[in-house]
Amino acid sequence: MEEAQRLAKKLGLGFPVVSDPDLSLIRRFGVEMQGREIAIPSMFVLEAKTGRITWRYIGETMFDRPQLQPVLEALDRASGTPNNDSSAPASP
C-alpha cells in the first residue's frame, strides 16, 4: 500500500490509489479472473462523495483496455468539469 501511495504522490495524482493484495476489492467488484488470482482488466470511476460507481469498463480479454476518450469523459462527468464534447453518451 505504501508503494502505491508513493507512486501516486510522485505522479501528482489527485485521487486515491489502492493496492489489493488480498483480492478483496477485486472480488467485491466482481472482476477476479477465473482460475487466477488477478483482476480482469477493468476500470471504475467513482463519485468522490458517495463512492457510487458512475462509469465502468470491464475487459473481455487480458489485453482489453478502454479507449482514453471515454475514460476522460467519465472523469469529467464525475468531477463536474465540462468536457469539450457534450454529445458523448454517458456510460453507466
Q: How many domains, in total, are found in the chain?
A: 2
Tell how strand 53-58 and strand 42-46 pair up. Answer: antiparallel
- Whether 88 maps to a domain, the answer reads no
pLDDT (0 to 100) of residue 28 = 93
47-89 pLDDT tens trace: 878 888 999 999 988 899 999 999 999 988 887 765 554 434 4
pLDDT (0 to 100) of residue 81 = 61
- Whether 9 maps to a domain, the answer reads yes
Strand partners, 87: none
Residue count of the chain? 92
Is the pTM for the entire model greater than 0.75? no
In this structure, the answer to whether residues 32 and 53 fall within a common structural domain is no
- Whether 62 maps to a domain, the answer reads yes
For residue 63, what are the domain limits? 41-83
In this structure, the answer to whether residues 46 and 73 fall within a common structural domain is yes
- Whether 47 maps to a domain, the answer reads yes
